[in-house]
A and B are shown apart, each in its own frame.
Chain A
Amino acid sequence: MKGNEAIGEAAIRAGCLNYFAYPITPQSEVAEYLSKRMPEAGGVFLQGESEVAVSYMIFGAAAAGARVFTTSSSPGISLMSEGISYIAGAQCPAVFVNIMRGGPGLGGILPSQADYLQATKGIGHGDFRLLVMAPASVQEAVEMVMEAFPLAEKYRNPVMILGDGLIGQMMEPVEFPENFSVEPSNKDEWATNGMDTRKSDQRNLVKSLFLDPEMLNSHNNVLREKYERMKREEIRFENYNTDSDYNVLLVSYGTMSRVCRTAIDQLKSEGFEVGMIRPLTLYPFPEKAVEDAASKESCTSVASIEMSMGQMVEDVERSVRGKKPVQWFGKCGGEVPTPEEVIEFIKSL
């Protein structure tokens, strides 16, 4: 199944029957797929007039208690980031999928990982974070999209699936997880789903405005506690060849990590050991895993390998805490570094 279509199907299988979107390459197939599939499944499909409007359709629907999601690509996500800030401020659960293309500006339409900083540190204004997950295959994209809904509800916070264009465009075999709980959590405590719906005399209010400075400060502390809890409970990563006495540790995610695997296997056959930590969550970042792996005695250097100009380097450096030198190798603009190029870089260290 094509990645973009699998992402659409995964949402339906996760009990999300509400999708609002605006077309943009390279993820328009999600909207095309769901424009047929949502009505079949008895769900809502609507093509909005802009990404800005879509982000508020998501906000309205989420605030009314519905499971809801959208998909877009880099420039579209920039436009949605206004709404994402309001959604995070108002503590509503929603899922955003970013199938990244190259930037800045219109950039290009080919695969990229150039929105790492935007997704993990700087999406929209104000003190908030997204839970960010990065799939490296179509199968993993499906699983992450499905998990994203209960996670968004657990934290009452937007969750972002950060995939590069290859994840969206690639065809791979997919198995949809069965026995997935499609029941949304009970939202009566806060959702504006109508007082009659929840048989209550108390009205609910969904807002992000706190004019009183003390109240805004305590609101932001509530948000901060959620992000701290994410750090305790949601960090996910994968080790590759870290049982060996590796000289070099790679940190890489998404499609790029698959190229790194090939490079690591090739180098191993040449008698050269390289380990890798692949973050599955980019926020929260697996700091401890990277630090521990970099601390290994045999390891002499660490490298962040990305399809961007080194946006993840500062997270890797922060995690390594100066124990080993941190290098960067990558390309952007749509060219995925080849295993040979990665090998050449590793050998140059």
Chain B
Amino acid sequence: MGKTFQKPEALTDQITHYCPGCTHGIIHRLIAEVIDELGIRGRTVGIAPVGCAVLAYNYFSFDFQEAAHGRAPAMATGIKRVRPDLMVFTYQGDGDLASIGMGEIIHAANRGEKFTTIFVNNAVYGMTGGQMAPTTMPEQRTTTSPFGRDVEDVGMPIKVAELIAALQTPAYVVRRTVLKPKYINKAKKAIKQAFTYQLEGKCFSFVEIVSTCPTNWGLTPLESIKWAEEKMLPYYEPGDYKIPD
């Protein structure tokens, strides 16, 4: 009897640097499984962000480029325009995409660039040490909002999926989460749908994934899941925000 569960070909053997309880590992695996299932490893180019996932390329076994902070959508645009036959995705966190890279993501989405963005939202800057992000929840304490996010001072957290869905250009824009197994399957389906739309040359595709950061939230992995379910999911509601015709 052969193995019924094994590591996807699109992942390397390397042990990740991610913290215990971090959801990047799950999301990496989902992407790798989808790439295997679609048989597109040889034509895929990933783009790593600045942030915890900057070293994502160490864990995937296909071509990768490393972007500057927030600029991954511009790089993906460059690749897709000169090589429309490649399957290109950006993998970005919320500091990278929703703060410094807001201009790049909005314009790439609005042009209807035929690439996919996997947007990992854990409401905090990870790599730089837990600073406030545009997605940080009201009252959430971070290293730069030690008294909790004051929305009178810095505004409300940005709902990126809704923002992109508001653009008139057709796109596939959804929000998922990987907090529980039942959510994980849905997240995988969304990633597969996003890649499929890209392969069909149909539209820009965007999958936001509500995630955790136990280290910077100061919680255990289990407490983090509970916190994300209670605090984040009511605000960052999973759902389909835009589906192409």
B78 contacts A195, C-beta separation under 8 Å: no
Contact of B83 among A83, A193, A204, A205 (CB under 8 A): A193
- With both beta carbons as reference points, the residue of chain A lying nearest to B41 in the complex is identified as A195
Q: Are A18 and B81 in contact (CB under 8 A)?
A: yes
Contact sample, A vs B, 16 pairs, CB 8 Å cutoff: A46-B81, A49-B107, A56-B75, A56-B104, A58-B78, A59-B74, A60-B77, A61-B79, A64-B83, A90-B65, A192-B65, A193-B83, A195-B63, A204-B64, A205-B65, A207-B65
B67 touches A192 (CB 8 A): no
| Given A56-B74, A194-B63, A205-B64, 12 more pairs with CB closer than 8 A | A61-B81, A64-B86, A65-B83, A82-B68, A86-B67, A194-B42, A194-B45, A203-B61, A204-B64, A205-B63, A205-B66, A206-B66
B227 within 8 A of A: no
**A1: Cβ under 8 A from any B Cβ:** no
Residues 198-221 (chain A) with a chain B CB within 8 angstroms: 203-209
Residues of A within 8 A of B104 (CB): 49, 52-53, 56
- Could you tell me if A49 and B81 are in contact, using CB atoms closer than 8 angstroms? no
User: Looking across the interface, which residue of chain A has its beta carbon closest to that of B45?
Assistant: A192
Question: In the complex, A114→B79 CA distance in Å?
Answer: 33
List 9 tightest A-B contacts by C-beta distance, closest first.
Answer: A60-B78, A60-B75, A196-B42, A56-B74, A207-B66, A57-B78, A61-B78, A192-B63, A49-B107
Say which residue of A44, A48, A57, A60 sits within 8 Å of B65 (CB atoms). Answer: A60
Closest to B76 in A: A60
| B-chain residues with CB within 8 Å of residue A50 when the two chains form the complex | 103
List chain B residues, Cβ under 8 A from A90: 65-66
Which of chain A's residues has its CB closest to B74's CB? A56
Q: Which residues of A contact B61 (CB under 8 A)?
A: 203
Determine the residue in chain B with the shortest Cβ distance to A59.
B75
Contact A83 B64 (CB under 8 A): no
B87 to A: closest C-beta gap in Å: 8
Which single member of A53, A55, A65, A86 contacts B107 (CB below 8 Å)? A53
B-side interface residues toward A, CB under 8 Å? Answer: 41-45, 47-48, 54, 57, 60-68, 71, 74-79, 81-83, 85-86, 103-104, 107
Contact present for A63 and B65 (CB under 8 Å): yes
How far apart sit A52 and B107, CA to CA, in the bound complex (Å)?
12
Interface, chain A (partner B; CB < 8 A): 18, 20, 44, 46, 48-50, 52-66, 68, 82-83, 86, 90, 192-197, 203-209
**Known: A53-B103, A90-B66, A192-B64. Contact between A63 and B71, CB under 8 A?**
no
Which of B54, B71, B86, B103 is A209 in contact with, Cβ under 8 Å? B54
Q: In whole Å, how far is A35's beta carbon from the nearest beta carbon of chain B?
A: 14
Tell me the minimal C-beta distance from B172 to chain A in angstroms. Answer: 21
In Å, the complex CA distance between A192 and B79 comes to 9
Question: Does A204 lie within 8 Å of B63, measured CB to CB?
Answer: yes
Which of B41, B54, B61, B78 has the largest count of A CB atoms less than 10 A from its CB? B78
Q: Which residues of B contact A82 (CB under 8 A)?
A: 68
Residues of chain B within 8 A (CB-CB) of A207 are: 48, 57, 64-66
A49 touches B103 (CB 8 A): yes
The complex places the Cα of A27 from the Cα of B182 at a distance, in Å, of 55
Write out the residue numbers on chain B whose beta carbons fall within 8 Å of the beta carbon of A44: 81-82
In the bound complex, what is the Cα–Cα distance between A271 and B30 (angstroms)?
81
> Is A60 in contact with B63, judged by CB distance below 8 angstroms?
no
Is B74 in contact with A60, judged by CB distance below 8 angstroms? yes
Contact B77 A57 (CB under 8 A): yes
In the complex, A53 Cα to B60 Cα: how many Å? Answer: 26
